[in-house]
Amino acid sequence: MRPLSQIKRLLLWSALVLLLGSCGAPSKIYAKDSQLGVYFTIPATWHEIPEEDIRSYEVEGADDAAKTKADLVLWQKAFSESKETSAREVLRLDPPKSLTAFARVRALTIQESDAMSYNGLRDLVLPVTELIAGSSEVVNDFELLGEQEVVTEQARGLQTTFSFTLKNGGNETVHQTALLSNDRGSIYFFLVRCTTECFDESQETVDEIVKSFTVKGRR
């Protein structure tokens, strides 16, 4: 039988090993581009959707204008709670079944830069400005849940939360951050989205992810 002092030492050593192990395991993934000065965090258990998959899906069958915009992407990252989430679910309007986050930084053409306004930022995914006014051939039951202006040292824009139902079914809630750089040369775009039921159940996680999105601008 081991002496009591030896047992105590073993217990202390086991506790120390567990403590060090837990400290070594990151609780979050930091997605960032230091040159562009943009980052956000998501839970460490989430799965990344390969950037090359997003690019390939976006340009497949696209017209020249869409391909030109894809070529202007400076950085993009997408993550989901589920490893089954594909690039298709990131880019299409159909609601992803698992909470998904997508960030993109894109340069603007001269024409886009001259024309970009808060309405333009609001309408990057859906024609939200028109939907607020009342009619759509794309979605039903559109509801603006909240909107606020965001101003940083390097960019300004809007955070907009809305929900809608596609004509072919499927209710979705989206939290959208869209910022225009002060030099009007690029946009910073960040989406967190899911089915409305999933979004509501994950509100605390959504809030943490949204708050983590930071734009410091180019170095």
Look up residue 40 and give its two tokens: 């956000």
Question: Would residue 166 count as lying in a domain?
Answer: yes
Question: Would residue 94 count as lying in a domain?
Answer: yes
What is the Cβ-side half-sphere exposure of residue 28, based on CA atoms within 13 angstroms?
A: 11
pTM: 0.85
Q: What is the mean pLDDT of residues 140-148?
A: 92
Look up residue 138 and give its two tokens: 């794309």
Nearest alpha carbon to residue 199 among 170, 158, 169: 170
What is the domain count for the chain?
1
Q: How far apart are CA 93 and CA 172, in angstroms?
A: 9
Question: Would residue 109 count as lying in a domain?
Answer: yes
Q: 89 has which bridge partners?
A: none
- pLDDT at residue 100, as a whole number: 97
CA distances from 113 to 73, 135, 187, 209 (A): 15, 28, 9, 28
Determine the residue type at 107.
Answer: A
Q: Residue 102 maps to which CATH number?
A: 3.40.1000.10
The DSSP output letter for 95 is: P
Question: Would residue 98 count as lying in a domain?
Answer: yes
Residue 199: give the domain boundaries.
26-215
- pLDDT at residue 5, as a whole number: 53
- pLDDT at residue 66, as a whole number: 86
Per-residue pLDDT band for 63 (boundaries 50, 70, 90) equals: confident
Reported as a single tens digit per residue, the pLDDT across 110-138 is 999 999 999 999 999 888 988 888 767 77
Look up residue 141 and give its two tokens: 């039951």
- pLDDT at residue 133, as a whole number: 80
What is the Cβ-side half-sphere exposure of residue 42, based on CA atoms within 13 angstroms?
A: 21
Question: Would residue 149 count as lying in a domain?
Answer: yes
